[in-house]
Amino acid sequence: MLVEQSDGKYPRACGETLKIASLKGHLQRKTHLEKSVNTALEKGMLVEQSDGKYQCACGETLKKASLTRHLQRKTHLNEFTVQTALNKNIFVEIENGEYECACKRKLKKASLKGHLFTKIHLSEVHARKLWIKSGKNEETKDARTNNNDQREEIVVECDHNIMRCPFCGKRFSKKKYLERHAQDSTCQEEVNRKRENTKSVGEPETPIPPYSVRSDPPGHVYVFNNDFKGHEQERRGAKQDSRNLQQTFTSMGYKVFLLENLSAQQTMAEVDRIRSDPALARVDALVMVFLSHGKRALKFLAQDRATLDLRKIRRNFTNSLCPNLKGKPKIFFTNFCRGRELQIQTDGVEPTRDMVTIHAVQHGIAALRHTRDGTYFVKALCLVLQKHAADKSLRDIYLELERKTKEINGTLPQWEDDAFREFYFTQRAHLE
């Protein structure tokens, strides 16, 4: 609502331009409040619907009496920032500091902030529903339906067809921009550097042995599953995920624990109890599964909608904090939508080892969930484990998982490991 101009003045949403000393008083005036709503209606930020309510470009549906108050709320104002638009792929950098908006306008970086409030952009916001309520990186509905039941709802999230350079990670809205970028010297240097690193590693003199899995049971499996029943964004089909996972891992000889609909405090208390459990000394592997709504690449929601950090959970199982699992494989499966976040190595933090995390989706992509059969990822995972857990390593199972998700039109999974060796769910699989 406030945008500083080059002359040090501030144009308001109501149309007036003011000096900084006048802002506080102006915001409380009745004329400002009335003009703010009128301007928002004229520009298309607020659109009247057939039922007499108003749709705001930030995603809220409001009664007329609530419009003035809504325009001043932090939740509304936060939506109209350049960073929010970048995070939601509404602005995508194409080349040389130039950006393309989802409304197809090409802009320089300096023009992005002003563009968010233009009529041409706001009309596209409503027409294509570009804006989602802030902080809710949740599942939305898609037109795809199950062939067996046309009334069956399939909840789906997508990445708006954004393409990413596999080397430097930059995002592009069109294939031609990505191809042009690939010829850039900076990206080429990154390609060459990665190739040199690959060549320098070479073959080890002696093969690294896989993890030993000889205990009975081979390991413990903890399934943290939040269905958000009673909330607007209920994860219908979540119960089926729990049943599939319990049946699959039990048939493999693992001991399965279902931990459903826990608050953030309860979740972390369970994590602390698990890492301190002396029974871990008698098993050879730990498997943890987290099924929920996501907020960012490595953050997801507990049942009480408080945020949990996967990195914090994994750090509970470092060698010093969980000596019962020292040198043993710790496997994490996640199924939640992932946003845009950079992971920064912090000095003084003990590194994680012997860990692998297999995400249902790649960084920046969202998840698919069927309201009857559960998530596509868990369905594919259980099918692959049932078929190959007895004869393939985890890396080979991951490749089979990738193939299976393509086959059922799911999202591509992502492998992330920390000094993780070859792992077989059963000792018999290693011997075959």
219-431: in CATH 3.40.50.800: no
pLDDT score of 244: 94
Q: Which residues contact 16 (CB under 8 A, 6 or more apart)?
A: 26, 32, 35
- The whole-angstrom separation of Cα 267 and Cα 303 is 9
Give the CA distances from residue 225 to residues 217, 263, 335, 355, in Å, rounded to whole numbers and listed in that order: 23, 11, 10, 21
**pLDDT of residue 281 exceeding 80:** yes
Q: How many CB atoms lie within 10 A of CB 407?
A: 10
pLDDT score of 115: 84
- The whole-angstrom separation of Cα 60 and Cα 101 is 22
pLDDT score of 60: 82
pLDDT score of 39: 80
- The whole-angstrom separation of Cα 77 and Cα 65 is 18
Q: Which amino acid is at 132?
A: I
- Residue ranges per structural domain of the chain: 1-72, 80-183, 219-431
Instruction: Please tell me the pTM assigned to this model.
Output: 0.53
Q: How many CB atoms lie within 10 A of CB 59?
A: 17
Identify which of 299, 279, 291 has the alpha carbon closest to the alpha carbon of residue 333: 291
- The whole-angstrom separation of Cα 134 and Cα 74 is 10
- The whole-angstrom separation of Cα 410 and Cα 375 is 9
H-helix segments, 44-81: 67-72, 74-79
pLDDT score of 101: 83
H-helix segments, 234-332: 238-251, 264-276, 310-315
What's the residue count for the chain?
432
Region 163-182: mean pLDDT is 64
Where do we find the tokens 């904090």? 321
Convert the pLDDT of each residue in 228-278 to its tens digit. 988 878 888 889 999 999 999 999 999 999 999 999 999 999 999 999 999
H-helix segments, 224-263: 238-251
- Which neighbouring-strand residues pair with 92? 100
pLDDT score of 18: 53
pLDDT score of 168: 61
Q: Which residues contact 386 (CB under 8 A, 6 or more apart)?
A: 248, 251
Convert the pLDDT of each residue in 24-68 to its tens digit. 455 445 454 556 788 888 777 888 877 788 888 887 888 888 888
Region of 123 (left: φ > 0; alpha: ψ -120 to 50; beta: rest) is alpha
pLDDT score of 272: 96
Q: Are 126 and 47 in contact (CB under 8 A)?
A: yes
pLDDT score of 154: 41
Q: Which of 7-11, 55-59, 84-88 has the lowest mean pLDDT?
A: 7-11
pLDDT score of 7: 53
Convert the pLDDT of each residue in 369-394 to its tens digit. 666 778 889 999 999 999 999 999 99
Per-chain mean pLDDT for the chain: 76
